[in-house]
Amino acid sequence: MLNAERLGETFRSLVAISSESQHEGALASDLKQRLDMLGAEAVFDASAAATGSDTGNLIARLKGTRVVPALLLSAHMDTVRPGQGINVLFKDGVFTSDGTTILGADDKSAIAVILEALSVLKEDQIPHGPLEVVLTTCEEAGLAGARNLDFSLIAAPYGYALDGSDTEGVIVQAPSSNRFEIRLFGKDAHAGAHPEKGINAIHLAAKAMAGLSIGRIDPETTCNIGWIEGGLATNVVPPVVTIRGEARSHDEDKLERLTAGILGAFERVVAEHRALAVHDSLPRLEAQVKRSYSRTRIPENHPVVGLARRAAGRLGRPMKAKKSGGGSDANIFFEKGIPLGILGTGMREIHTLREYVRLDDMVRAVELLLEIIRLHAEFGNRGNNPDN
């Protein structure tokens, strides 16, 4: 049966192993041993060459006791910074760090939940279908691990990513995201002796940004400029500035219009200044736009939703199909034709020094996952949709 004390100790031990993005190797080795002991066949893919991590993604297969299609369970091994030397505190049922680092509940609470569920399956001999556990690297670094995952190793048609907060919701919609880098070139000059001979790249960029809508654009769309770098010294007119940001939307047309509008704002400022300036080639602009990930949209009649709702109902809990403003590995899996609903483990204040997770919420996550696995074994050979 589910062992809450063991679950907590597993989480503590995972958090104690530092695994910032591209440095997941030690954790991956530990997890492979754990999965081997649970009877899974665990392998690493060759994604490290592309991601720059010190390990590949970890893919584990557990044979089923029922003849149904495989069910995929996913989480990511990496954390954001600062994530080295985490000192875990546990008080009144809540895990936190000591405040000098993140906690790592994102996403090690998910890994602990998956491991506990697999342990219960084995100990209690619970009927289940084939399971595939995919633990990725570099999720926090542009979803690089999932993007470079060897999908030939995956047979499951759908499943769940444990990478959310709400233990009573399954995320089935997430936005598309474009990231952009804009470099604006002006002209250097002495800021005190000959400022009129320079073109202030930072000033021009500020004029362009002043006309942009930032933050929440509408219920489906957001925009952020999160990084600016430029200038040489306070007495030098800055000749170049670089701006990086992102735009997200659940609507592809809105996303493309927003992205074009951002680039257009900088292009107009540059064009206006060039019309007045004596320099034929300055100021000038270089811009790059890349698709970070494409949207996820799983219909409510999909087995991913039906299994989660039926499992929650058996436990006497509600289960909402939800929309998220964030991206995750699930976006990449969806692009590859493998829908993953996102389940929560209770982790809160993620990516901050205030991050925390309640043990009771992790227990609830294990209970839900076990019930989903039971239902999948029961209904998988009837189209995998318990609502049919």
User: Using the 8-state DSSP alphabet, how is residue 388 labeled?
Assistant: -
d(CA 280, CA 283): 8
H-type helices in the chain, by residue range? Answer: 4-15, 25-37, 48-51, 105-124, 144-147, 201-210, 252-276, 303-314, 329-335, 359-379
- Cα–Cα distances (Å) from 146 to 42, 43, 46, in that order, read 17, 15, 12
d(CA 231, CA 226): 17
Three-state SS at 348: strand
The CA R_g of the chain, rounded to the nearest whole Å, is: 24
d(CA 225, CA 133): 35
Three-state SS at 177: strand
C-alpha dihedral (264, 270, 272, 274), degrees to nearest 10: -150
Which residues are known catalytic residues? 78, 139
In terms of Cβ atoms closer than 10 Å to its own Cβ (0-12, 13-18, 19+), residue 235 is: exposed
Per-residue exposure over 75-87, b if at least 16 CB sit within 10 Å of its own CB, e if not? bbbbbbeebeebe
Cβ atoms of 376 and 128 within 8 Å: the answer is yes
What is the 3-state secondary structure of 106-162?
Answer: HHHHHHHHHHHHHHHHHHHCCCCCCEEEEEECCCCCCCHHHHCCCHHHCCCCEEEEE
DSSP string, 357-383: EEHHHHHHHHHHHHHHHHHHHHHGGGT
C-alpha 141, offset from chain centre = 9
Q: Show the tokens assigned to 367.
A: 């209970």
Q: How many CB atoms lie within 10 A of CB 40?
A: 20
